[in-house]
């Protein structure tokens, strides 16, 4: 028996693309500022964990189909290729983004779209991003790898916790303010 294709409407595709693009813009602006202040790669992810974690969680809740997170992260990383967001410029970001999106989708699915699944998916996803970008920096032989290796011990758990908080914020915003909007209701059809 073959795999089933994920069917999304044009409206859902537009929404997913917009969430990916908005998430990238937020991550680029916030991450660039934090990285410039600290000089340590991936520290921008600390602030991004809350903001981007919330936006992506809202995006996933809007469509609620397996594959939504993967598509959002795919769009995000396409925009990130030429920038320092998500690590040094390069196509490898798309691979990391697809893996991270799949992790989010898988965890949310395993937890049957319960609150804990959304929260854990954001934390595990953020940890995977941190480690994946570190491996890319190391593989590329960039001098930042040594500095980053020393920071991984606090960056991974910190990004996990902060991204879990971001997912909580996203879930709260979605439930309290967005879930009843006619546009969001139209995405579910």
Considering the chain, what percentage of its residues have pLDDT values greater than 70? 94
Walk me through the domains of the chain, giving residue ranges and CATH numbers: 10-174 (1.10.1760)
pLDDT at 1 over 50: no
pLDDT of residue 5: 53
**pLDDT 10s digits, 82-123:** 998 888 899 999 999 999 999 999 999 999 999 999 999 999
Q: Over the chain, what is the mean pLDDT? A: 90
Q: Is the pLDDT of residue 4 over 50?
A: no
pLDDT tens sequence across 46-55:
778 899 999 9
- Asked if 41 contacts 144 with a C-beta cutoff of 8 angstroms, the reply is yes
DSSP symbols for the chain: -PPPPPP--HHHHHHHHHHHHHHHHHHHHHHHHHHHHH--TTTHHHHHHHHHHHHHHHHHHHH--TTHHHHHHHHHHHHHTTSSTTSSSSTHHHHHHHHHHHHHHHHHHHTTT-HHHHHHHHHHHHHHHHHHHHHHHHHTT-THHHHHHHHHHHHHHHHHHHHHHHHHHHHHHIIIIITTSHHHHHHT-
Q: What is the mean pLDDT of residues 158-168?
A: 95
Kindly tell me if the per-residue pLDDT of 6 is higher than 80: no
State mean pLDDT over 24-45.
81
135-162 mean pLDDT: 89
Q: What percent of the chain has pLDDT over 90?
A: 65
- The answer, as to whether pTM is greater than 0.85, is yes
| Residue whose tokens read 């925009």 | 79
Question: What is the mean predicted confidence (pLDDT) over 2-15?
Answer: 78
Top-confidence range, 21-25, 28-32, 126-130, 148-152: 21-25
């Amino acid at each position: 028996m073959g795999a089933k294709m994920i069917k999304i409407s044009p409206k859902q595709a537009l929404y997913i693309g917009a969430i990916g693009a908005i998430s990238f813009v937020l991550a680029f602006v916030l991450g660039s500022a934090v990285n410039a202040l600290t000089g340590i790669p991936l520290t921008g992810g600390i602030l991004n964990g809350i903001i981007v974690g919330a936006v992506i969680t809202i995006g996933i809740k809007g469509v609620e189909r397996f594959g939504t997170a993967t598509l959002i992260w795919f769009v995000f990383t396409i925009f990130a290729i030429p920038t320092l967001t998500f690590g040094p410029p390069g196509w490898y970001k798309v691979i990391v983004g697809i893996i991270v999106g799949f992790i989010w989708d898988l965890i949310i699915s395993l937890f049957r779209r319960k609150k804990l699944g959304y929260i854990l998916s954001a934390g595990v996803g953020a940890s995977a991003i941190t480690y994946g970008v570190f491996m890319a920096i190391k593989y590329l032989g960039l001098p930042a790898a040594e500095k980053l290796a020393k920071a991984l011990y606090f960056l991974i758990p910190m990004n996990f916790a902060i991204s879990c908080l971001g997912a909580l914020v996203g879930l709260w915003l979605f439930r309290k303010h967005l879930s009843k909007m006619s546009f969001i209701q139209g995405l579910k059809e």
